[in-house]
Structure 1
C-alpha cells in the first residue's frame, strides 16, 4: 500500500516540482541584467590572449 501512495506522489507532485525548478532556473539565467555577468564569465579563457599570465611561465 505504501509503495502505491509514494508512486502516485512521485508521478505527480515530484514531477511538478522538478518542472517548476527547471522553469525557475531558465528564468533566472535569462533575467534582465544578467547578460553582462555571463559575458564576463564566458570571456575568462581569453583574458590573457595577448600576453601569457605569470602562472604559465612558472609551470613550464
Structure 2
C-alpha cells in the first residue's frame, strides 16, 4: 500500500512540474498572438461583425 501512495505522490509532483510550464507557455503564446500588431485588423473586423447588418 505504501508503494502505491509513493507512486501517486511522484505522479502528482511530475504533473505539477511538467504541465504547469507547458500551459504557461501556451497561454503566453496565445496572448502574444492576440496582441501582435499584424493581427490587429483581423481582430478589429471580427469585433465589428455583430454590429454589421447584412
CA deviations 1:18-42 (Å, max 9, x no partner) are 1111111101111121010000000
Q: TM-score, normalised by structure 2?
A: 0.77
Counterpart for residue 21 of structure 2:
16
Q: Distance in 2 between matches of 1:39 and 1:32?
A: 11
More helix by share: 2
Unaligned runs of 5+ in 1: 54-60
Report SS of the residue matched to 2:37: coil
Higher Cα Rg, which structure: 1
Counterpart for residue 28 of structure 1:
33
Runs of 4+, deviation exceeding 2 Å = none
Higher RCO by CA contacts (8 Å cutoff, separation 6 or greater): 2
